[in-house]
Structure 1
């Protein structure tokens, strides 16, 4: 038991070091192929703009979610403590890393519960892996008095992890059982491979309340596992996965009217966030940039500046698209080109591309805002 706990703790420490060392390739996320339509006559004041959203019925002051990162080491305690303080300051939801370490060994509980201690009234998201039994999920939620639960799906990472799982049959049945047993909404979360429409439908059939698409473009956990083994990921695997905007469109088109959708994977700017919300995301998850910043000597100040910059950009983009709320922005056209468009067209989603690109209702009518268009 002690040896297993030590090995798990060491692995978590190595994961954090790998994320800080490897960086990511933002252009791999394809957000550059998504464009918002500017509004040169917005009739919106900055003070009228609201960044508020809801996720699974939980009201949030911002769409930014500090996504699952860590726990189970003393270094993780510091990271989670600092990030939780900032989550409280800016009204952000925060998810912890997989809590299996704490459920199996109470020694590490404090590295997770510090998030609730520092963010007592905020939205806190518990986290377990797809292989975790329902009892572990229940304990994870109870440990944090969590508002939501993530069940993360990391098959690609497990396949490249020397000590990883190799048996995945039955995971969807476990998910459905966990949904039935836990008393908080459940989010099915990918971690870099992306969620396609067929799997989104399966998650919904299992009863989840939200799906985090976890697309390609951020941390590559196959590369992380290769790094842990002292190697580099083979070139053939570098572009494995569905880029985040494409995964987001797949999920929104398939199940977006039934569950909330979270965009994550290479979200690095306010522009990425606004584009994701315009395409249908209720919230966006950011992890690696925050881990790198919070690990600096001026960590909390650096993360605070980053969040404030994101929020400032979001307010500007809402004004510049004539949107007071995210609901307004979702009525605005989104133009997709390049890889995103090619992907969606190849996947038979031409109608979705046309729908989001032609949201200007007045262009299909002879009147707009009470004026006759001549």
Structure 2
């Protein structure tokens, strides 16, 4: 029975990879970061050489805010993907998160698809990943499998509801989170996978003791659509819009608990402009997954991903200069204006003071 379950899990993970490559980003709903405008500085009074893109996440210093976010593991196809991603992370000094490590713990024969990351990048910042409701012993085993310094606990209720073999009982998951936080010995990150985290749940997660929240907003890879693809159907348009846009969930979480936890922006983060706007709204780092996975599938995939990251870094550097910012901390002292749907959402959610402070802050 265990072999059958393991085989089905490997098949599901391989199907997820195929679906993400084929479907691309959400075809209906954007991340709403187009509703954020940075106020330029035409007299920056700084030298380009002074600008730094380094940031801190859960006490770890990173030379770049980009995280290669949770993708895969637990299937033969994942080995080569994770091997290449680990090399890219090492080359560019990026943190890297793995896909759910439960498969590697429960099916030891696929543990190598995770362990390769630490072999390729022995000194890098690696983030292990388990699902909501995972017990502390399994979470610790997933952490140890890759020698990870951080642990993501992903919350994917919408995906489970659409998954033919998904969970239907979500009781007790918060108690398990508290147990995991108390027993891991490393910082724990609560993460959504595409539908966003509202201010109310951000407070709950912070109260559970997590050190960071990855908002996982709507606008990028849509795992509801991925599960529909696995059933051979196209997701209805109304479900394409389910959840909170990345910009909305990011603003809610930062305004609610940004003084208690680090916040990671993810969900349709694709350009340097997306990254810089997210950092201006208060993110400590950003997660990118879908476009990296698709580029990796191209001929000379590693080179394609490296070129993409290099272009992001170059553009981020220029945008910091053009806002008069030596650092992300400086950027968060510069004004940014929110308009459109995002402004209407945040006003309706009682975030007027956040909007006013954002638009009028100055160094």
Query: Given the two structures, how large is their TM-score scaled by the length of structure 2?
Result: 0.98
Deviation string, structure 1 residues 330-371 (Cα, Å, up to 9, x no partner): 00111101111010001111111001111026xxxxxxxxxx
Residue 344 of structure 1: which of 343, 346, 355 is its match?
A: 346
| Deviation of the 1:46 alpha carbon | 1.4
What is the correspondence of 1:61-210 to structure 2 with a 5 Å cutoff?
61-210=63-212
Take 2:48 and 2:184, find their aligned partners in 1: how far apart are those partners? 41
Take 2:35 and 2:238, find their aligned partners in 1: how far apart are those partners? 23
> Which 4+ stretches in 1 moved above 6 angstroms?
none
The equivalent of 2:245 in structure 1 is 243
Take 2:202 and 2:289, find their aligned partners in 1: how far apart are those partners? 22
The equivalent of 1:318 in structure 2 is 320
- Where structure 1 has 5 or more consecutive residues not aligned to the other structure, the ranges are 362-374
Take 1:183 and 1:246, find their aligned partners in 2: how far apart are those partners? 32
Deviation string, structure 1 residues 25-53 (Cα, Å, up to 9, x no partner): 38611111111110000112211111100
Take 1:126 and 1:151, find their aligned partners in 2: how far apart are those partners? 9
Deviation string, structure 1 residues 268-327 (Cα, Å, up to 9, x no partner): 000000000010000000000000011112110000000000000100000000101100
Take 1:46 and 1:111, find their aligned partners in 2: how far apart are those partners? 41
SS in structure 1 opposite 2:30? helix
Deviation string, structure 1 residues 113-137 (Cα, Å, up to 9, x no partner): 1111111111000000002111110
Take 1:63 and 1:208, find their aligned partners in 2: how far apart are those partners? 19
SS in structure 2 opposite 1:29? coil
The equivalent of 1:305 in structure 2 is 307
Q: Indicate if the aligned counterparts of 2:26 and 2:240 stay in contact, CA closer than 8 A.
A: no
Take 2:238 and 2:34, find their aligned partners in 1: how far apart are those partners? 23
SS in structure 2 opposite 1:150? strand
Take 2:80 and 2:357, find their aligned partners in 1: how far apart are those partners? 46
Take 1:291 and 1:179, find their aligned partners in 2: how far apart are those partners? 30
Q: Indicate if the aligned counterparts of 2:67 and 2:286 stay in contact, CA closer than 8 A.
A: yes
Deviation string, structure 1 residues 187-244 (Cα, Å, up to 9, x no partner): 0000011000000000011100000000000001000000000001112211011000
SS in structure 2 opposite 1:6? helix
The size of the alignment, in residue pairs, is: 361
Take 2:31 and 2:185, find their aligned partners in 1: how far apart are those partners? 34
Take 2:290 and 2:133, find their aligned partners in 1: how far apart are those partners? 24
Take 2:234 and 2:138, find their aligned partners in 1: how far apart are those partners? 34
Take 1:44 and 1:292, find their aligned partners in 2: how far apart are those partners? 37
Q: Indicate if the aligned counterparts of 2:133 and 2:174 stay in contact, CA closer than 8 A.
A: no
Deviation string, structure 1 residues 54-78 (Cα, Å, up to 9, x no partner): 1000111100000000011121111
Residue 48 of structure 2: which of 34, 46, 49 is its match?
A: 46
Q: Indicate if the aligned counterparts of 2:133 and 2:177 stay in contact, CA closer than 8 A.
A: no
Take 2:336 and 2:174, find their aligned partners in 1: how far apart are those partners? 34
SS in structure 1 opposite 2:248? helix
Root mean square deviation, CA, Å: 0.9
Q: Does residue 1:14 correspond to 2:20, yes or no? A: no
Higher radius of gyration, 1 or 2:
1
The equivalent of 2:25 in structure 1 is 24
The equivalent of 1:368 in structure 2 is none
